[in-house]
Structure 1
Amino acid sequence: MYLALKVSDLDNVATVFAEGIQAGAEIEVRDKKGESVVIRALDPIPYGHKVAVREIETGEQIMKYGEEIGVASRAIAAGNHVHVHNLDSMRGRGDL
């Protein structure tokens, strides 16, 4: 089983700390309280990237470390890889 960490209760993504996660793999998502839940990867997820820990609707804020890091550019299912293909960054844009 692979490991991902969720730092804040506000987070809807967790950071993966494992190499070689393929679609179908089980990921244990641990939080800061030591509690964990197991989700199934729907996509390959590289080390250090994000995995959705719950359903995220189009336009919903993506929360990591308790901070908004962007918005979902399309619907994201729990277990999906979250990256530039489904997240619009809000940092440093200057146009919003």
Structure 2
Amino acid sequence: MPSTGLDPRLLLLSPDDNVVVVRQRLRAGDRVAVGGREVTLFGDVPLGHKLAFRPIGPGDKVLKYGAPIGSATAAIAQGEHVHVHNLQSDYTPTYTLDEARAKHGDAA
């Protein structure tokens, strides 16, 4: 683990961010170092998706590139996958996601 406490498979884009970007596909059961803490992933995380760099509370802004990209819809633990199941865009209507969930289940 590098001295920054961040797994080399993850990328912190700005020191203000509370998420990191996955640089290669991660699998359920993989252990990764996030913010100096090692966590075990509960599910697969695709390339380019986000993990919480630190805990994020419900309603908190999610920061990427040092800018807000949306709000957490639930508590997100450090190292947890951050995606449409726990993140709502503050800029793009989510009605299409709601329709997709209704049609295909909550497998977003």
When Rg is computed on C-alpha atoms for both structures, the one with the higher figure is: 2
1:7-86 alignment, distance < 5 Å: 7-19=13-25, 21-28=26-33, 37=36, 39-40=38-39, 41-86=41-86
* Structure 1, unaligned runs of 5 or more: 30-35
Deviation for aligned residue 1:60: 0.3
Report runs of 4+ in structure 1 exceeding 4 Å deviation: none
TM-score, normalization by structure 2: 0.69
TM-score, normalization by structure 1: 0.77
* Structure 2, unaligned runs of 5 or more: 1-6, 94-108
Instruction: Name the structure where strand makes up a greater proportion of residues.
Output: 1
Instruction: Name the structure where helix makes up a greater proportion of residues.
Output: 2
Instruction: Give the RMSD, CA atoms, in angstroms.
Output: 2.0
Task: Count the aligned residue pairs.
Answer: 86
Amino-acid identity (%):
41
**Which one scores higher on RCO, CA 8 angstroms, separation ≥ 6?**
1
